[in-house]
Amino acid sequence: MNRHVPVLLADGRAQWLLLTTPLRQALESQRCTAQVVRSEEIAETARLVETASAYKVVIVNLLYPSPGREDRLEPRGLEIIATIRSRERLADSQHPALVIALLQSAGDDDLERRAKGAGADKVLRWSELAPRTAGIKRLAKVIHDELSRRELIPLALDLEESDEPGVLTVIDDVGRPNLCLLIVDLAADLAEHRVERAKLGYVAPGASGAHVLRADLTMANGLQRTWLLKLSDKRKILKRELANARHVGGAYGSNLIIGYLSRHPVSHAGWHAIAMAFAADAVTLRSWLCDPRSAGQVPGVLSALFLGHGLARPYGRSTLAAERAIDAFFLPAFRRNRVRQAVAQLRPLLSETRAARVDNPGEIVQAIGAFVRYGRILGVEPDRCPGRLRTVAQHADLHGGNVLVLQEQHPQPCVVDLASHRSQHWAMDVARFTTDIVMRCLDPLAEGHFWDRWPAWRTTLGLLSRFEAIPDDPRNPAAVAALRWVVEQRPALLPLMAEEQRWQWHAALVEQLLRAACREELPTPKRVLGLVGAYDQLVLAEAAMGKLSVAF
Ligand SMILES: Nc1ncnc2c1ncn2[C@@H]1O[C@H](COP(=O)(O)OP(=O)(O)O)[C@@H](O)[C@H]1O
Ligand SMILES: [Mg+2]
């Protein structure tokens, strides 16, 4: 099969004389060879479509002059479309032609419906193809993409076979032709050479539900490019990620953010894609902090991540919102429901002697329930929680999977996944970041599934939240170094936390720990730590507010 596209133009009007050559050229720039045959007479067109199945594309004008009454137009193009389709049915054709119907004026919805009913794949208006617009180019692209999807022409790039289950899942979901078309469209935006071959590898399922792939591309001039390709059926999320990356770009140092390759997501058949350069020698901060050898380099990497032109730069520039501070910590309904399920599932482990062995399980469950349902912080009703909400610009999904460490001469951090970047409560980024380290980087392997280290995790969490010295832990030197760094850098990371606002830091940890308790991919002891840790933070938040009322 070759990329030859024979097109039958069933339209007698002289305008097409102007467009035949541009259409052929536009198809050629889609790397097809094209032959455009014009048929003026309706009888001749009928004969052509009756006898020849050689046309992969038929463009049909719908309105023809009525025989004998040249001034009256009749929708005789509908007959042509019906003939093509009935012929294909009779021949049991596996590869039906692409039929595009042309309307002369806008607003003829009835005719559009009838054309689709007769079997037209697409209905266009003549005005959309005006010579000075990009209409013909768009038409050629529609033709090319649709013929690729129908396998009427070979795909524009060679997608290497893979037996990696992750890649096969994506091909199943997105479809091989759409995947190729998405890559071709992303490359077209780059004004580089065209992509000739692509080899895909699976990176991660992605927390957002997007598919994240590594694409090794060979360009026509022999150059190699490696992209991180993110595919999603939700265009809005990808669009927001690109828009945020553009806005945010200037706020941080240029080394901190990996640039995206295009300004807009490209789309095919309900799937959308964006791409950025692939950081080849990078690991996530999560896995970097699980490696004891990283310990000595932790302060340098975290300083580059947060300080100077890093993430903490805007943390001191706050905006006073209309809401109360406590409103920032209410969980949305679906999360409240998930916390309720997690409590029901994990409750037996709270007092169990082989598990957490806490002596007040009833109190813990009740306190979490009252916080989640009413925003109550132990004995303090939400109305009595002091302060208005102050927001600052934050990453807003700052966990160790969204920070990469580039393994250069000196390890260098960079931030990915800016889809959530926004103004939010000043303590949230740091609460999310530290909770993630405790949950994923303290005893990350088999140990995380056992209970012997559980009391130590709880203690560490308590010390961290009070900004007290965290003892050495030879098993987790890098994670402990990271938590110590956060304790030391409190003024830079939480510049808005004066004594009156301290309860809000604890409340932010409550919110993050409850979210962690719901994450089924975490080991059960860590999820239980989420519940008990949240309770401990409620106690600290209440105490912090108690001190205030004494002081007043
Ligand atoms: N530019 C990149 N180079 C290498 N790996 C990356 C890059 N961007 C993301 N990753 C990896 O892919 C994972 C998922 O990407 P991310 O953008 O966070 O997707 P999601 O929004 O679905 O969480 C990251 O945790 C990281 O491991
Ligand atoms: Mg992510």
**Mean pLDDT (whole number) for 398-415:** 94
Q: Please report which confidence band the pLDDT of residue 63 belongs to, taking 50, 70 and 90 as the band edges.
A: confident
The secondary structure of 88-150 as a DSSP string is HHHTT-SSPPEEEEEESSTT-HHHHHHHHHHT-SEEEEGGGG-TTSSHHHHHHHHHHHHHHHT
To the nearest 10°, report the CA torsion of 83, 86, 88, 90. Answer: -130
CA–CA distances in Å: residue 412 to residues 283, 302, 409: 11, 9, 9
Residue type, 38: R
Q: pLDDT class for 551, splitting at 50, 70, 90?
A: very low
Q: Cα of 284 to ligand 2 centre, how many Å?
A: 10
Task: Fill in the amino acid letter for 311.
Answer: L
Closest ligand 1 atom to residue 207 Cα is 23
Strand partners, 102: 61, 124
* Helices (H), ranges, 189-328: 235-249, 285-289, 298-306
pLDDT at residue 87, rounded to an integer? 85
Which DSSP string corresponds to 380-404?
Answer: B-GGGS--EEEEEEE-SS--TTSEE
What separation in Å is there between the alpha carbon of 418 and the centre of ligand 2? 8
pLDDT score for 371 = 98
Residue whose CB lies within 8 A of the most ligand 1 atoms, among 214, 228, 234, 272, for a mutation test: 228
Spatial CA neighbour of 373 closest among 329, 424, 426, 321: 329
Report which ligand 1 atom has the smallest distance to the Cα of 258.
Answer: 1
> Do residues 71 and 63 lie in contact, with contact meaning Cβ atoms separated by under 8 Å?
no
Q: What is the pLDDT of residue 288?
A: 98
Query: Residue 383: CB partners within 8 Å, gap ≥ 6?
Result: none
Nearest atom (ligand 1) to Cα of 278: 3
263 pLDDT exceeds 70? yes
- Would you tell me how many other CB atoms lie within 10 Å of the CB of residue 182? 24
- Determine which residue's CA is closest to atom 17 belonging to ligand 1: 417
Residue 390 CA to ligand 1 centre (angstroms)? 30
Calculate how far, in angstroms, residue 413's C-alpha sits from the geometric centre of ligand 2.
15
**How much is the pTM?**
0.86
Residues 468-499: tens digit of each pLDDT? 999 999 999 999 999 999 999 999 999 999 99
Ligand nearest to the CA of 398: 2
Q: How far is the CA of 401 from the centre of ligand 1 (A)?
A: 7
- pLDDT higher than 60, residue 1: no
CA nearest ligand 1 atom 4, residue: 279
| Among candidate residues 456, 482, 488, the one with its CA nearest the CA of residue 469 | 488
Per-residue pLDDT tens digits for 44-57: 787 777 766 678 89
In tens, the pLDDT along 180-235 reads 999 999 988 775 678 999 999 999 776 678 999 999 999 988 899 999 999 999 99
- Rounded to the nearest integer, the mean pLDDT of the chain is 91
Which residue has the least CA distance to atom 14 on ligand 1? 206
What's CA 154's distance to the chain center, in Å?
Answer: 29
* Architecture of the domain defined by 158-280: 2-Layer Sandwich (3.30)
Atom of ligand 1 nearest to the CA of 282: 4
The answer to whether the CB of 548 falls within 8 A of the CB of 383 is no
* Residue 212, beta-bridge partner list: 204, 230
Classify strands 57-61 and 4-10 as parallel, antiparallel or unpaired: parallel
531 versus 111: which is more confidently predicted?
A: 531
- Give the nearest ligand 1 atom to 283 CA: 27
Give Cα 351 distance to the centre of its chain. 40
| pLDDT tens-digit map of 431-470 | 999 999 999 999 998 999 999 999 999 999 999 999 999 9
* Alpha carbons 393 and 400: distance in angstroms, whole number: 19
Give backbone dihedrals phi and psi of 370, rounded to 5 degrees, phi first: -70, -35
DSSP state, residue 195? E
* Residue-wise pLDDT tens digits, 538-549: 999 999 998 776
Give the closest residue (by CA) to ligand 1 atom 8: 416
Smallest CA separation from ligand 1 atom 22, residue = 206
What pLDDT sits at residue 105? 67
Residues within 6 Å of ligand 1 by CB:
203-204, 206-208, 210, 212, 228, 258, 276, 278-279, 282, 284, 401-402, 404, 416-417, 419
User: Which sequence spans correspond to the domains of the chain?
Assistant: 4-149, 158-280, 314-404+427-546
**Interval between CA 273 and ligand 1 midpoint (Å):** 14
**Mean of the pLDDT values across residues 293-309?**
97
CATH class of 4-149: alpha beta
Taking only the tens place, the pLDDT of each residue in 129-169 is 776 678 889 999 999 999 999 888 999 899 999 999 999 99
**How high is the pLDDT of residue 409?**
85
DSSP 327: G
Atom number in ligand 1 closest to CA 277: 1
Q: How many CB atoms lie within 10 A of CB 257?
A: 19
Which position has the token pair 């054309």?
115
Query: Of all protein residues, whose CA lies closest to atom 25 belonging to ligand 1?
Result: 401
